Chain A
Protein backbone atom coordinates (compact mmCIF):
# COMPACT_ATOMS: atom_id res chain seq x y z
CA UNK A 1 0.00 0.00 0.00
CA UNK A 2 2.03 2.96 -1.30
CA UNK A 3 0.20 5.65 0.69
CA UNK A 4 0.38 3.77 4.00
CA UNK A 5 3.14 5.95 5.52
CA UNK A 6 1.07 9.06 4.80
CA UNK A 7 -2.04 7.44 6.29
CA UNK A 8 -0.06 6.52 9.41
CA UNK A 9 1.43 9.99 9.77
CA UNK A 10 -1.86 11.86 9.35
CA UNK A 11 -3.65 9.40 11.60
CA UNK A 12 -1.07 9.99 14.30
CA UNK A 13 -1.81 13.71 14.34
CA UNK A 14 -5.56 13.15 14.20
CA UNK A 15 -5.35 10.60 17.01
CA UNK A 16 -3.74 13.14 19.32
CA UNK A 17 -6.12 15.90 18.21
CA UNK A 18 -9.14 13.70 18.89
CA UNK A 19 -7.73 12.74 22.29
CA UNK A 20 -7.39 16.43 23.17
CA UNK A 21 -10.92 17.23 22.04
CA UNK A 22 -12.28 14.28 24.07
CA UNK A 23 -10.57 15.63 27.15
CA UNK A 24 -11.62 19.26 26.76
CA UNK A 25 -15.02 19.10 25.07
CA UNK A 26 -17.24 17.82 27.91
CA UNK A 27 -16.06 20.47 30.36
CA UNK A 28 -16.23 23.29 27.81
CA UNK A 29 -19.70 22.33 26.62
CA UNK A 30 -21.15 21.96 30.13
CA UNK A 31 -19.70 25.33 31.13
CA UNK A 32 -21.07 27.03 28.02
CA UNK A 33 -24.49 25.44 28.36
CA UNK A 34 -24.85 26.38 32.02
CA UNK A 35 -23.81 29.92 31.18
CA UNK A 36 -26.31 30.07 28.33
CA UNK A 37 -29.09 28.70 30.54
CA UNK A 38 -28.24 31.28 33.16
CA UNK A 39 -28.12 33.98 30.49
CA UNK A 40 -25.17 35.41 32.32
CA UNK A 41 -22.97 34.35 29.40
CA UNK A 42 -24.92 33.62 26.27
CA UNK A 43 -22.04 32.52 24.07
CA UNK A 44 -23.89 29.95 22.13
CA UNK A 45 -27.19 31.72 21.44
CA UNK A 46 -28.77 28.37 22.12
CA UNK A 47 -31.87 29.89 23.62
CA UNK A 48 -32.73 32.25 20.84
CA UNK A 49 -36.47 32.15 20.50
CA UNK A 50 -37.16 30.77 23.96
CA UNK A 51 -39.07 33.36 25.99
CA UNK A 52 -38.12 32.85 29.60
CA UNK A 53 -40.33 34.97 31.87
CA UNK A 54 -38.89 35.52 35.32
CA UNK A 55 -35.74 34.20 36.89
CA UNK A 56 -35.04 30.53 36.97
CA UNK A 57 -33.71 28.72 40.00
CA UNK A 58 -30.50 26.76 40.02
CA UNK A 59 -32.26 23.36 39.84
CA UNK A 60 -34.03 24.44 36.63
CA UNK A 61 -30.77 25.73 35.17
CA UNK A 62 -29.00 22.50 36.07
CA UNK A 63 -31.81 20.41 34.55
CA UNK A 64 -31.79 22.52 31.38
CA UNK A 65 -28.02 22.16 31.18
CA UNK A 66 -28.17 18.40 31.63
CA UNK A 67 -30.88 18.07 28.97
CA UNK A 68 -28.87 20.26 26.62
CA UNK A 69 -25.79 18.15 27.29
CA UNK A 70 -27.43 14.84 26.33
CA UNK A 71 -26.33 15.17 22.65
CA UNK A 72 -22.81 15.28 24.04
CA UNK A 73 -23.07 11.54 24.71
CA UNK A 74 -23.43 10.36 21.09
CA UNK A 75 -20.90 13.01 20.06
CA UNK A 76 -18.35 11.70 22.56
CA UNK A 77 -19.08 8.15 21.37
CA UNK A 78 -18.41 9.21 17.78
CA UNK A 79 -15.17 10.89 18.86
CA UNK A 80 -14.13 7.74 20.74
CA UNK A 81 -14.73 5.65 17.62
CA UNK A 82 -12.76 8.16 15.54
CA UNK A 83 -9.88 7.95 18.04
CA UNK A 84 -10.03 4.17 17.82
CA UNK A 85 -9.98 4.33 14.02
CA UNK A 86 -7.05 6.76 13.94
CA UNK A 87 -5.26 4.53 16.45
CA UNK A 88 -5.69 1.53 14.15
CA UNK A 89 -4.58 3.53 11.10
CA UNK A 90 -1.46 4.92 12.75
CA UNK A 91 -0.44 1.33 13.55
CA UNK A 92 -0.93 0.45 9.87
CA UNK A 93 -4.07 -1.61 10.54
CA UNK A 94 -6.06 -0.15 7.65
CA UNK A 95 -7.99 -2.92 5.93
CA UNK A 96 -9.12 -4.81 9.03
CA UNK A 97 -12.56 -5.77 10.36
CA UNK A 98 -11.90 -3.70 13.49
CA UNK A 99 -11.30 -0.53 11.46
CA UNK A 100 -14.39 -1.21 9.37
CA UNK A 101 -16.41 -1.57 12.58
CA UNK A 102 -15.15 1.83 13.78
CA UNK A 103 -16.33 3.43 10.53
CA UNK A 104 -19.77 1.82 10.83
CA UNK A 105 -20.07 3.02 14.41
CA UNK A 106 -19.07 6.56 13.42
CA UNK A 107 -21.81 6.52 10.80
CA UNK A 108 -24.36 5.21 13.28
CA UNK A 109 -23.38 7.88 15.77
CA UNK A 110 -23.69 10.63 13.17
CA UNK A 111 -27.22 9.44 12.34
CA UNK A 112 -28.25 9.28 16.01
CA UNK A 113 -26.66 12.62 16.96
CA UNK A 114 -29.06 14.98 15.11
CA UNK A 115 -32.06 12.97 16.33
CA UNK A 116 -30.88 13.32 19.92
CA UNK A 117 -30.17 17.02 19.33
CA UNK A 118 -33.73 17.48 18.05
CA UNK A 119 -35.30 15.90 21.12
CA UNK A 120 -32.86 17.62 23.49
CA UNK A 121 -33.52 21.05 21.99
CA UNK A 122 -37.27 20.60 22.31
CA UNK A 123 -37.06 19.40 25.91
CA UNK A 124 -34.57 22.12 26.85
CA UNK A 125 -36.92 24.92 25.77
CA UNK A 126 -39.80 23.19 27.55
CA UNK A 127 -37.80 22.94 30.79
CA UNK A 128 -36.80 26.61 30.64
CA UNK A 129 -40.31 27.85 29.88
CA UNK A 130 -42.13 25.45 32.23
CA UNK A 131 -42.35 28.06 34.97
CA UNK A 132 -43.72 30.69 32.57
CA UNK A 133 -47.32 31.83 33.20
CA UNK A 134 -49.94 29.42 31.90
CA UNK A 135 -50.37 29.69 28.17
CA UNK A 136 -46.82 30.90 27.73
CA UNK A 137 -44.95 27.63 27.94
CA UNK A 138 -43.18 26.79 24.71
CA UNK A 139 -42.79 23.61 22.76
CA UNK A 140 -40.49 24.06 19.81
CA UNK A 141 -39.35 21.53 17.23
CA UNK A 142 -36.82 22.72 14.70
CA UNK A 143 -35.26 20.99 11.75
CA UNK A 144 -32.31 22.45 9.93
CA UNK A 145 -30.18 21.64 6.93
CA UNK A 146 -27.50 20.55 9.44
CA UNK A 147 -29.91 17.83 10.57
CA UNK A 148 -30.36 16.48 7.07
CA UNK A 149 -26.65 16.85 6.30
CA UNK A 150 -25.56 14.91 9.39
CA UNK A 151 -28.04 12.12 8.77
CA UNK A 152 -26.87 11.79 5.16
CA UNK A 153 -23.19 11.86 6.10
CA UNK A 154 -23.84 9.34 8.87
CA UNK A 155 -25.62 7.07 6.43
CA UNK A 156 -22.75 7.43 4.00
CA UNK A 157 -20.18 6.52 6.67
CA UNK A 158 -22.23 3.51 7.73
CA UNK A 159 -22.42 2.19 4.16
CA UNK A 160 -18.70 2.85 3.65
CA UNK A 161 -18.07 0.89 6.85
CA UNK A 162 -20.01 -2.06 5.41
CA UNK A 163 -18.00 -1.87 2.18
CA UNK A 164 -14.74 -1.62 4.12
CA UNK A 165 -15.69 -4.75 6.02
CA UNK A 166 -15.93 -6.58 2.70
CA UNK A 167 -12.57 -5.12 1.70
CA UNK A 168 -11.10 -6.25 5.01
CA UNK A 169 -12.35 -9.80 4.45
CA UNK A 170 -10.75 -9.84 0.99
CA UNK A 171 -7.52 -8.37 2.35
CA UNK A 172 -7.42 -11.07 5.04
CA UNK A 173 -7.92 -13.69 2.35
CA UNK A 174 -5.14 -12.11 0.32
CA UNK A 175 -2.76 -12.13 3.29
CA UNK A 176 -3.09 -15.91 3.35
CA UNK A 177 -1.39 -16.10 -0.07
CA UNK A 178 2.38 -16.05 -0.49
Chain B
Protein backbone atom coordinates (compact mmCIF):
# COMPACT_ATOMS: atom_id res chain seq x y z
CA UNK B 1 0.00 0.00 0.00
CA UNK B 2 1.24 3.48 -0.78
CA UNK B 3 -0.02 6.98 0.06
CA UNK B 4 -0.89 9.04 -3.00
CA UNK B 5 -0.96 12.83 -2.63
CA UNK B 6 -3.85 14.55 -4.42
CA UNK B 7 -2.76 18.09 -3.58
CA UNK B 8 -2.55 19.07 -7.26
CA UNK B 9 -6.21 18.07 -7.72
CA UNK B 10 -7.40 20.13 -4.75
CA UNK B 11 -5.27 23.11 -5.82
CA UNK B 12 -6.87 22.96 -9.28
CA UNK B 13 -10.33 22.77 -7.74
CA UNK B 14 -9.65 25.78 -5.55
CA UNK B 15 -7.93 27.59 -8.42
CA UNK B 16 -4.94 28.29 -6.25
CA UNK B 17 -1.27 28.33 -7.30
CA UNK B 18 1.45 26.47 -5.39
CA UNK B 19 3.22 29.73 -4.60
CA UNK B 20 0.18 31.19 -2.86
CA UNK B 21 -0.38 28.00 -0.88
CA UNK B 22 3.28 27.95 0.17
CA UNK B 23 3.10 31.56 1.37
CA UNK B 24 -0.10 31.02 3.32
CA UNK B 25 1.01 27.73 4.87
CA UNK B 26 4.51 29.02 5.68
CA UNK B 27 6.63 26.49 3.85
CA UNK B 28 8.74 26.85 0.72
CA UNK B 29 7.34 26.45 -2.75
CA UNK B 30 9.94 23.75 -3.31
CA UNK B 31 8.45 21.73 -0.45
CA UNK B 32 4.97 22.16 -1.92
CA UNK B 33 6.31 20.79 -5.23
CA UNK B 34 7.94 17.86 -3.46
CA UNK B 35 4.70 17.19 -1.60
CA UNK B 36 2.64 17.30 -4.81
CA UNK B 37 4.95 14.81 -6.47
CA UNK B 38 4.98 12.57 -3.41
CA UNK B 39 8.75 12.86 -3.03
CA UNK B 40 8.66 13.48 0.71
CA UNK B 41 9.13 11.04 3.56
CA UNK B 42 6.19 12.48 5.45
CA UNK B 43 4.14 15.48 6.38
CA UNK B 44 3.88 17.02 9.83
CA UNK B 45 0.39 17.24 11.32
CA UNK B 46 0.92 20.96 11.75
CA UNK B 47 1.62 21.39 8.01
CA UNK B 48 -1.32 19.15 7.07
CA UNK B 49 -3.66 21.12 9.33
CA UNK B 50 -2.55 24.43 7.78
CA UNK B 51 -2.99 23.11 4.24
CA UNK B 52 -6.49 21.85 5.11
CA UNK B 53 -7.32 25.23 6.65
CA UNK B 54 -6.13 27.17 3.60
CA UNK B 55 -7.75 24.83 1.05
CA UNK B 56 -10.85 24.29 3.20
CA UNK B 57 -10.66 20.54 2.85
CA UNK B 58 -10.12 17.37 4.84
CA UNK B 59 -6.91 15.31 5.03
CA UNK B 60 -8.70 12.55 3.15
CA UNK B 61 -9.14 14.94 0.21
CA UNK B 62 -5.37 15.32 0.02
CA UNK B 63 -4.15 11.82 0.86
CA UNK B 64 -5.30 8.48 -0.53
CA UNK B 65 -4.13 4.99 0.30
CA UNK B 66 -3.77 2.99 -2.90
CA UNK B 67 -2.22 -0.36 -3.79
CA UNK B 68 1.43 -0.24 -4.91
CA UNK B 69 1.95 -0.22 -8.68
Contacts and interface: CB of A to CB of B under 8 A. Distances in A.
Interface of A: 173, 176-178
Contacts of A177: 40-44
Interface of B: 27, 31-32, 34-35, 40-44, 47
B34 to A, nearest CB: 7
A174 B34 CA distance: 14
Q: Dominant SS at the B interface? A: mixed
A173 B27 CA distance: 17
19 contacts: A173-B41, A176-B40, A176-B41, A176-B42, A177-B40, A177-B41, A177-B42, A177-B43, A177-B44, A178-B27, A178-B31, A178-B32, A178-B34, A178-B35, A178-B40, A178-B42, A178-B43, A178-B44, A178-B47
A176 B43 CA distance: 9
8 closest cross-chain pairs (CB), A and B: A176-B41, A178-B31, A177-B42, A178-B40, A178-B35, A178-B43, A178-B47, A177-B44
Nearest to B34: A178
Contacts of B27: 178
A176 B34 CA distance: 10
A27 B34 CA distance: 52
Nearest to B35: A178
Contacts of B42: 176-178
Contacts of A176: 40-42
B22 to A, nearest CB: 10
A63 B31 CA distance: 61
A178 B44 CA distance: 6
Contacts of B43: 177-178
A178 B25 CA distance: 11
Residue with the greatest number of chain A CB neighbours at <10 A, chosen from B34, B35, B40, B41: B41
Contacts of A178: 27, 31-32, 34-35, 40, 42-44, 47
